[in-house]
Amino acid sequence: MKVILYGLGKGLEYVESNLKEAHEIIGYSDSFATIKVFKGKPFYMLEQLPEISFDYLIITVKNRKESWKIYELLSNGPYKIAMAKVIPFYVYAKSEYWDICMNKADIKQAEGLIMGTSYARNGFLTNYLSVPFINLGVPSQDLFSELETFKAIIAKYGNKLQKLKYIVIDMFDYYYFNYDASLCKVFFSYLGYGGIIRKHHYDYNAWYKNEFEKELLIQLGIKRDRDITNILDELFEEHAALDFEVLAGERWKYINGDVPLPIGHFMAHIINKKDEGVIANNRRYLEELLEVIHNFNPDIKIVLVLMPKYISLEKTKEITLGQWKDDFDKIIEEICKRENVYFKNYKFCTGIYDNNHFWYDIDHLNTAGARCLTSIFDEDMKKELY
């Protein structure tokens, strides 16, 4: 295929480096440059593009929303380039973290998967575990998305996960069973962090009024089209785009010991209003997740964990969340009657939750704290499960 790359910014290098050798870059273009050559190839002005013979023009602008505007300009504007030949790369690139992460990991050697929220993503460092794990935690992920993610993993990569022995599931907090991301304002933030794209109960989300696919484009600049994905698969070794990276191994800032509590923690709808329907659904999702895991391999050990928060938050929430703890404990106790299902509670882990030098903010461990908590967890696993 003959390809023209549009855009000279920070998204270009990734696109260039992943173009398969069978395809040829015949030139470059951009709306802001007036040069005639770039990297030894012709540089085309926009008005020249309709006269050039090529198979695809790939827009390499990393900002998805801006990239979509350029697509509209080139295909529907004065230049009238055939829509089928113009592809805004990052708009259609993979945006689900589980797929991006699994694609880069040494799956055949993986013995464990870590699933959950930002607490798991920031709190467990896989290079501090004794066996090979892949951390798939995504900020604001709910139990429905955990289930859908694992089903997607098995469908795509299950034949390579022959050594899988352990799955760690971060249970967020006592009110996790009351949380449905698709009903919350944070839904598109979750998707922006790489959450699995499922509509779920979005139609009942009071924060957004547009159809899901339209809002996905408005909020994140993401479009889904299997035919275009297949074209990207044919052209590129990989194609991935995350709005927000979480670099758990590079978080060295720490909080003051007297850091104030954000009031939002205690005003959140999911803390203050119990939804029995959501709770029942989430219990069912967790039970189904355990069944799917053990149908894949009945010998896999599943470890449900509660991660710590900083002491000031934990102590305050201990009072505020008392209404949730008993119900949470009852569900977990029943769940753990199943074979190969375990529960670990690190919420009040001495030396971790009470040391401000280990906290990036009052919710999330910094890298030093994550190293220490991961080491404690690994030692517990050695004693009981490895």
Whichever domain contains 72, its CATH number is: 3.40.50.720
- Rounded to 5 degrees, φ, ψ at 112 are -150, 150
User: What is the rounded distance in angstroms from the CA atom of residue 325 to the CA atom of residue 180?
Assistant: 18
Helices 276-296 and 322-335, axial angle in degrees (round to 10)? 30
- Quote the pTM value: 0.93
What 8-state DSSP symbol labels residue 19?
B
pLDDT at 262: 66
| Same domain as 116, residue 68 | no
| Same domain as 104, residue 82 | no
16-69: pLDDT as tens digits: 999 999 999 999 999 999 999 999 999 999 999 999 999 999 999 999 999 999
CB contact set of 138 (below 8 Å; sequence gap of 6+): 97, 98, 117, 118, 121, 145, 190, 193, 194, 195
| Same domain as 101, residue 86 | no
CB contact set of 101 (below 8 Å; sequence gap of 6+): 134, 135, 136
| Same domain as 117, residue 75 | no
Q: Domain ends where: 92, 109, 139?
A: 92
Instruction: Count how many Cα atoms sit within 13 Å of the Cα of residue 36 in the half-sphere of its side chain.
Output: 0
How many domains would you assign to the chain? Answer: 2
User: What is the rounded distance in angstroms from the CA atom of residue 231 to the CA atom of residue 270?
Assistant: 42
| Same domain as 264, residue 342 | yes
| Same domain as 102, residue 60 | no
CB contact set of 244 (below 8 Å; sequence gap of 6+): 139, 192, 193, 194
Tell me how crowded residue 314 is: count the other CB atoms within 10 A of its CB.
Answer: 18
- Reduced to 3 states (helix: H, G, I; strand: E, B; else coil), residue 321 is coil
373 pLDDT more than 60: yes
Beta strands in 133-186 (DSSP E): 133-135, 166-170
Residue 309 lies in a domain: yes
| Same domain as 101, residue 87 | no
Pair 34, 84: CB distance under 8 Å: no
Tell me how crowded residue 277 is: count the other CB atoms within 10 A of its CB.
Answer: 9
298-351: pLDDT as tens digits: 999 999 999 999 998 888 877 777 789 999 999 999 999 999 999 999 999 999
| Same domain as 267, residue 253 | yes
Give the structural domain span for 320. 97-198+246-384
Q: Which two tokens stand for residue 365?
A: 């461990």
Average pLDDT for residues 77-81, to the nearest whole number? 86
244 pLDDT more than 80: no
360 pLDDT more than 70: yes
Of 134-138, 294-298, 313-317, 359-363, the one with minimum mean pLDDT is 313-317
| Same domain as 112, residue 18 | no
State the amino acid at position 22 in one-letter form: A
What is the DSSP annotation of 267-301?
A: H-HHHHS--HHHHHHHHHHHHHHHHHHHHH-TT-E
**Alpha-carbon distances of 70 from 97, 199, 330, rounded to whole Å:** 26, 27, 54
User: What is the rounded distance in angstroms from the CA atom of residue 296 to the CA atom of residue 298?
Assistant: 7
